[in-house]
Amino acid sequence: GQNIDQPTEMTATEGAIVQINCTYQTSGFNGLFWYQQHAGEAPTFLSYNVLDGLEEKGRFSSFLSRSKGYSYLLLKELQMKDSASYLCAVRDNTDKLIFGTGTRLQVFP
């Protein structure tokens, strides 16, 4: 079957660094996505990894290891506005996006 696991909730302090992990088992692999979703809003694209390694984009970085079925999203210099749900999704071999249930991150002052 298709399975994507990520922690349900995480908390962190403003200015800190947080790493959100995602492990996956899917029918094929055509890339891994991270989305941010604030309550009541649309998910917004953060990053895309299709090759192993680290992709850095400002305060956000995403890492992929295809052999381990593992990815993480790293958020640096946390700000209050980073409080949101973070969604890990894998595009399978039929081009469907398979999502995890999301990690709700709360940033405290």
Nearest to other proteins of 30, 83 (CB atom):
30
Burial readout 86-102 (b: 16 or more C-beta within 10 A, e: otherwise): bbbbbbbeeeeebebeb
Helix (H, G, I), strand (E, B) or coil at 38: coil
Q: How far is the CB of 32 from other proteins (least distance, A)?
A: 10
Return the residues of window 18-77 that contact other proteins according to CB under 8 A. Answer: 30-31, 33, 35, 40-45, 48, 50
- Interface positions with other proteins (CB under 8 A): 30-31, 33, 35, 40-45, 48, 50, 87, 89, 94-102
